[in-house]
Structure 1
């Protein structure tokens, strides 16, 4: 016990620094490794993203208890949240806000009765497509446009997926999330809607990116880039 007390006393500066870092990461800003291809072509496996934890709400550190609303999540935001299924930290795109009526018909998104427009994206690096080790079939890339939504998505015609659902009315205080890699994402179609208190922040920029399929070589062009 004496040795433990001495260890704390001798390292109290370092302990205070580490506690401060934990508080900052819990309450203000954090960073996460993108572990899967569910957000291709926007976020790649090996991206380290910076999460603004006070983009929407001020919370008590280490909890989901909201002290003050700072801003409302918007359609098109890329957010981190705790899965309502099992608490796993996920990164997805926020597609629908409270009051929206959402439907998907064979990949085409409808919000409040308005259909999204889809334009084929032909100039896309192969590194932004789902890795061949996961899926070797055809991949189609489109720019999905509907109001404030304007982002690329990938669809995989040969892969089993939930391509139709709804219509669903999003209740107050909840949000609908989808992955940009539309047929390779475990999102609100499978885990349900996400309550506001489960949203842990907004992704605006990358910190850095390493390519695990190429011996973790840096993707320098992605360092500090906006998403």
Structure 2
């Protein structure tokens, strides 16, 4: 082993540098190569870890079990729900969200956010009003007739949600509001069936 010591004061020169002898061919041959089985096992572990990270922390697939969101979402549609979207922002009017049902957290529901904490909701003559402003809802089934509701003021930290198929939706009009902690994420993409693939925007 050669030890090189620099005594000069030249800027950028190291004080000490240790040179390692080159590895001999015999030493290289002595190292056992990775087996194919080990390489496959490592690749599988990495893939599983990534899948776990994506599914439980970033995105999660869901399927639609009922017709409460028709015509936007149909029974047996498959959607991707982003958990990332609400890390730094809050659900807003028009967002389609998946949440744990307040009366039975073992069940997941999908509905549209109609109003947030502090806003007042009412329905008159099939027209939705939020804070007394009429809200256009182009996503509703044509010629839909809704019964009157409210006025109801949403508590802070809660969300008032309804299905798009208003006459066949079990929603906030019946069982109340969704607490913030029950929100799983925002539905952002419909990926099945293929002929209906599209993003799911805010309205």
Contact 2:126 2:144 in 1 (8 A): no
Corresponding residue for residue 34 of structure 2: none
Residue ranges of structure 2 left out of the alignment (5+ in a row): 1-39
Q: Report the Cα offset of residue 105 of structure 1.
A: 2.5
Q: Pick the structure with more strand per residue.
A: 1
Of 86, 89, 93, the residue aligned with 1:56 is 86
Of 191, 199, 203, the residue aligned with 1:226 is 199
Greater C-alpha radius of gyration: 2
Corresponding residue for residue 13 of structure 2: none
Indicate the structure whose relative CO is greater, using CA pairs within 8 Å and at least 6 residues apart: 1
Pair 1:33 & 2:63 matched? yes
Q: Report the Cα offset of residue 106 of structure 1.
A: 4.2
TM-score of the two chains, using structure 2 as the length reference? 0.70
Pair 1:81 & 2:99 matched? yes
Q: Which sits farther off after the overlay, 106-115 or 93-102?
A: 106-115
Q: Report the Cα offset of residue 108 of structure 1.
A: 2.0
Pair 1:208 & 2:192 matched? yes
TM-score of the two chains, using structure 1 as the length reference? 0.63
RMSD: 2.2
Corresponding residue for residue 153 of structure 1: 140
Q: How many residues are matched?
A: 159
Residue ranges of structure 1 left out of the alignment (5+ in a row): 1-9, 58-69, 117-144, 210-219
Counterpart-to-counterpart distance in 1, 2:138 and 2:102: 25
Q: Report the Cα offset of residue 163 of structure 1.
A: 2.1
Counterpart-to-counterpart distance in 2, 1:35 and 1:19: 29
Counterpart-to-counterpart distance in 2, 1:106 and 1:182: 13
Corresponding residue for residue 23 of structure 2: none
